[in-house]
Amino acid sequence: MMESVLAFWLQHAPLLSVLLPSFTAMGLLLLGDLGDLGGMAEQGGGHDSARVRWRRRLSLASVVLGAVMAAGLVWRAAGGELLVYQLGEWSAPFGIVLVLDRLSALMVLLTYLVAAPVLWYATGGWDVRGRHFHAIFHFQLMGLSGAFLTGDLFNLFVFFEVLLIASYVLLLHGLGRERLRMGMHYVVLNLAGSGLFLIGLAMVYAVTGTLNMADLALRVAQLTGESALIARAAALILLVVFGLKAALVPLYFWLPGTYASASAPVAALFAIMTKVGVYSIIRTHWGIFGVEAGEASLAAQAWLLPLALTTSVLGAFGALAAHSMGRMVAYLTVSSVGTILAGVGLFTPETLSAALYYTLHSTIVIAGLFLLVELMAAQRGEAGDRLRPAAALREPVLLGMMMLFGAASAAGLPPLPGFLGKLMILQSASGLAAQAWVWGVVLTVGFFSMVGLARAGVIVFWHVQPDEGASVAESGASVKLLSAAWAFMAITVALALLASPVKRYTDAAAAQLADTAAYAEAVLGSQGGAGARTTRPYDGTRSTSPLQPAAAPAPAKVLP
């Protein structure tokens, strides 16, 4: 029995990671959700009714199972095996494939490391402040897992839409005027981004005739002349799209307001959303338009590093100038994305490995900070998370130490993983042409982040006005809510203690990403796709020969 379950899992592992949240979400939808709006306590809703408790148990169980499966994926990928899953047994490049390599497994695990504590936190009350929180949360996880696992550029777009639509609803969860206002901007911007994404995809398809990432990497390398120019343009359009998701300068202006207005667990979950943009940039600009991509190679090299460094600096300045703690943490997100993309934009495996380690750290720390900000805001009475003198916190020592821990790690103080990550980026950048810029920016940004966080800490913990005492919360934060924030701190500590094995893993992930030949062989078979005859790309003469019947079935893009 166990063996057959294990065999089933071994065979279908990538797909199950997408299906599990999808089925959970559908099940939760079928269970129905009245929310807590309008006094539903008598009708079976309410905070502690049996139905709510069962929904929470189901949801948490699914996330825990998903986390175990994600750990299994990492365990399998760590050996260097490329697991290719052909959906519907259509062979690549005609069919859609899910590809599990070290990078995608790592990102799926990171998603669940963020999602599990966040969901635990949300069951403390946020999940009943609107309808269908748990279902939408799992749809979000489905989109995230799918985006990380897919090996097809168009399928990436589809999963982007899945996770974006879920994020629109999550952002509006709990409603409120400010949330609707920022939601409007967020949705319109992302829809425009999706349109651009499709334009980029269409241009790539026009010159190569494929959207399979492994096949693309081979075909882009063969492009010459005008086709290569179009491919370069498409690569830069995709950079704009993914830069919008990742909050790269000048496309980050939507982020601080959006994240600050979202409810705390949603903002914490969104910490992974910018990393989807980063991941997509790595996939396209390393995997497809990488070093070996012929005339179209490294199309983004001239842009990515300067933009990333600018992002980092502007994010740090934003954190300095922020007038609320939520906005400050949101700007720290922007700043950390800049640091990560600086590592990506240097285009060496060492810098990429360092950037991946820093990605793990910054996602975890920022998610934890978003939760912590709300815990502090809840105890400050009228002032909330605004940075102005207000009533004393109920638990200044406990929350203060947690804030100190998170801030020190976010700013990059030893011995926390933020310091290790930045050190790795500095070390890997040494000897490169851009060394002075990277060192200068990373160190300056660390300093400014520290000043900004210290300023916030001084205002929140020391500028206390005893007069406002009447409005202070009567009791401290509940252990349940605190434990979610502690979970993030524990992961951070683990990341510091396990720095050496994690770094070995990211080194291997970067090396695996550079080896496009092995990737192509795994996805397309030993002939590297040469055996698959297609009519594409057209050479303009319009003389096409009919295909072999074996290769004839037309691939239909199916929605997952």
Partner 1 sequence: MEFLLATGIGFVTACGIYLMLRGRTFPVVLGLSLFGYAVNVFIFVMGRLWSNAQPILVGEGPVADPLPQALVLTAIVIGFATTGFVIELALRNRHESDSDHVDGREPARATGRSPAAEATHHGERQP
- For partner 1, the binding residues (CB under 8 A) are 125-126, 129, 154, 158, 161, 165, 168, 172, 174-181, 183-185, 187-188, 191-192, 194-195, 198-199, 201-203, 205-206, 209, 211, 257, 260-261, 263-264, 323-324, 326, 374, 377-378, 384-386, 473, 535-536, 538, 542-544, 546-547, 552, 554-557, 559
Nearer to partner 1, 60 or 378 (CB): 378
Token pair in block for residue 440? 């200068």
Taking Cα atoms as reference points, which of 110, 250, 61, 254 lies closest to residue 171?
254
- Nearest distance in Å: CB 57, partner 1: 22
Q: How far is the CB of 205 from partner 1 (least distance, A)?
A: 5
Closest by CA position to 266, among listed 393, 469, 415, 127? 127
What are the φ and ψ backbone dihedral angles of 472, each rounded to 5 degrees? -70, 145
- Residue pair 453/319 in contact (Cβ under 8 Å)? The answer is yes
CB 410 within 8 A of CB 366: yes
**Among residues 204 and 420, whose Cβ is nearest to partner 1?**
204
* Cβ 470 to partner 1 shortest distance, Å: 16
Closest to partner 1 by CB, 393 or 420: 393
CB of 264 to partner 1, least distance (A): 7
Q: Which one, 90 or 437, has the nearer CB to partner 1?
A: 90
Question: What are the backbone dihedrals phi and psi of residue 541, each rounded to the nearest 5 degrees, phi first?
Answer: -85, -15
Work out how close the CB of 554 gets to partner 1 at its nearest, in angstroms, rounded to a whole number.
Answer: 4
Sign of torsion, CA 160 164 165 166?
positive
Q: Is 171 helix (H, G, I), strand (E, B) or coil?
A: helix
Smallest gap from residue 174 Cβ to partner 1 (A)? 7
Output the smallest distance, CB 71 to partner 1, in A.
31
Question: Cβ(66)–Cβ(476) under 8 Å?
Answer: no
CB atoms within 10 A of CB 497: 12
Give the nearer residue to partner 1 in terms of CB position, either 211 or 218.
Answer: 211
Minimum CB separation of residue 94 from partner 1 in Å reads 9
Which value, to the nearest 10 degrees, does the dihedral of the CA atoms of residues 49, 269, 371, 402 take? 130
Nearer to partner 1, 10 or 552 (CB): 552
Q: Residue 180 CB, nearest distance to partner 1 (Å)? A: 5
Q: How far is the CB of 429 from partner 1 (least distance, A)?
A: 36
Identity of the residue, 386 or 394, whose beta carbon is nearer to partner 1 in the bound complex: 386
Cα–Cα nearest to 52, from 120, 114, 116, 125: 125
CB 136 within 8 A of CB 181: no
Q: Which of 253, 248, 297, 295 has the alpha carbon at shortest distance from 274?
A: 248
Judged by beta carbon, residue 278 or residue 322, the one nearer partner 1 is: 322
Cis peptide before 117 (omega within 30 of 0): no
Output the six-digit token pair for 511. Answer: 């090396």
Token pair of 227, please?
Answer: 């086709």
Shortest distance in whole angstroms from residue 337 CB to partner 1: 22
Question: Is 98 or 377 the residue whose CB approaches partner 1 more closely?
Answer: 377
CA distance to 62, 174, 175, per residue, from 119 (Å) = 11, 15, 19
Residue 353 structure tokens = 């490995």
Q: How far apart are CA 15 and CA 146, in angstroms?
A: 8
Provide the 8-state DSSP code for 531.
Answer: T
Give the residue with the Cβ less far from partner 1, 92 or 108.
Answer: 92
Residue nearer to partner 1 on the CB measure, 4 or 475:
475
Q: Smallest distance from the beta carbon of 463 to partner 1, in angstroms?
A: 17
Q: What is the torsion angle, in degrees rounded to the nearest 10, for the CA atoms of residue 287, residue 290, residue 294 and residue 296?
A: 100
How far is C-alpha 26 from the geometric centre of its chain's CA atoms? 23
Spatial neighbors of 145 by CB under 8 A, at least 6 apart, are 17, 18, 21, 66, 108, 111
Nearer to partner 1, 177 or 226 (CB): 177
Three-state DSSP at 390 gives: strand
* Cβ pair 266, 258 in contact under 8 A: no
